[in-house]
Amino acid sequence: MVGKKHKRRTLSSLIWETVHEEWGIWLAIAIVLSITFLFSDQLASWLEKSAFIKVLDSLGKLGLLVAIIAFLREIPKWEERAVEEAKRRQFEYWKAIDTARTTERSRDGRLFSVALKIALEGLAKEKDLEGKPIKISTVAANGVNLEDIDLEGACLHICGFGMAELSRANFRKTILVDVRFDRARLFGADFREAQFEKEVRFMHALYDEEAEKQFPIGFDLQKAGAYKIAPGVSLQRAMLENASLWDAELVGANLQDANLENAILGGSNLQKANLQNANLRGARARGMDLKGADLKDANFEDTNKVLISEEQKT
């Protein structure tokens, strides 16, 4: 209690000392304001006629003119700096892409690279001096996980996305020139309004019903050699080695004589599917559902973590 009173006295004493020491300054300010208020008309008339004030006014206008000229002179430099910044930014993107190109893939050719995804999305947003998308050329993204990547409006030339994970990828309004999507997983991928120029390949790529609805009108994925992954489809003698078929819905599908060697089938639903004489050697199939499937003469040699009962094999 005593301490609190002491603090209040100290604070009040400091305020009083400050006012006491600077009272002359506050008094002078009050006098100047009072004189200005009482003689404002006279002061205004005198200032209008004062040559000194006119000179100050002219100097102020001249300073404004100089500032405008300096601003206009800086505009080209801003453009140069913007171009230099764009070059620096694009250089960093290309460094990430080059690194991914030389990075060693896993045994099955796959690679997970967040940096590559960010770099490609960044380049897709870059514009040239005419405001058009820059050309993204010779990108090797084979086997890379690029799920949900957004490349809308990009211009891709001679790029490889073979075996890439491109589920829900956005390729809307892209210009594709000699781009390869062979064996890529395209579940839910969006290619609406994309322009396919020269050779754009989808050989043995995997697509679902959602992706099928999101391709340019008139483009036939089956004629392009891609495989539709959906319940009841016919994939007889399909070349699906190393295919990315995890969580695939293939209930009742016909996979007779299909080659699924080293395919990733974890969590896939193959109930009542026809797998007669199918080759699943080395497939990774944890959680694969084979209830009611026809497995006659199917090859499950070295298949990883899948239990096939005698009843299912018959």
pLDDT in tens, 219-249: 999 999 999 999 999 999 999 999 999 999 9
Mean pLDDT of 138-145: 90
Whole-number pLDDT of residue 10? 65
Do residues 222 and 228 touch, judged by C-beta distance below 8 A?
A: yes
**120 pLDDT higher than 80:** yes
Whole-number pLDDT of residue 170? 97
Mean pLDDT of 143-159: 94
Query: Percent of the chain scored above 70 by pLDDT?
Result: 84
Mean pLDDT of the chain: 84
Whole-number pLDDT of residue 3? 44
Whole-number pLDDT of residue 282? 92
Q: Which of 63-67, 198-202, 256-260 has the lowest mean pLDDT?
A: 63-67
Angle between helices 51-102 and 114-125 (to 10 degrees): 130
pLDDT band (50, 70, 90) for residue 281:
very high
Query: What is the layout of strands, in order, in the sheet containing 155-160?
Result: 135-137, 155-160, 175-180, 195-197
The residues, ordered by sequence, that sit 6+ positions from 145 with a Cβ below 8 Å of its Cβ are 110, 111, 112, 113, 164, 165
Of the candidates 302, 232, 213, 224, which has an alpha carbon nearest to the alpha carbon of residue 263?
A: 302
Of the candidates 278, 216, 215, which has an alpha carbon nearest to the alpha carbon of residue 228?
A: 215
**99 pLDDT higher than 70:** yes
**77 pLDDT higher than 70:** no
Whole-number pLDDT of residue 78? 65
Alpha-carbon distance 140 to 164, whole Å? 10
More confidently predicted of 21 and 85? 85
Whole-number pLDDT of residue 229? 97
More confidently predicted of 46 and 189? 189
The dihedral region occupied by 38, where left means phi > 0, alpha psi between -120 and 50, and beta the remainder, is alpha
**181 pLDDT higher than 70:** yes
**4 pLDDT higher than 50:** no
Please name the amino acid found at residue 126: E
Alpha-carbon distance 2 to 296, whole Å? 96
Whole-number pLDDT of residue 28? 81
* Strand segments (E) across 97-226: 135-137, 155-160, 175-180, 195-197, 206-207
pLDDT in tens, 192-217: 999 999 889 999 999 999 999 999 99
Alpha-carbon distance 140 to 160, whole Å? 5
pLDDT winner (highest mean) among 2-6, 9-13, 31-35, 133-137: 133-137
Which residue is listed with tokens 């036939």? 220
Alpha-carbon distance 100 to 77, whole Å? 35
DSSP-assigned letter for residue 215: S
**269 pLDDT higher than 90:** yes
Tokens encoding 98: 């080059």
**36 pLDDT higher than 90:** no
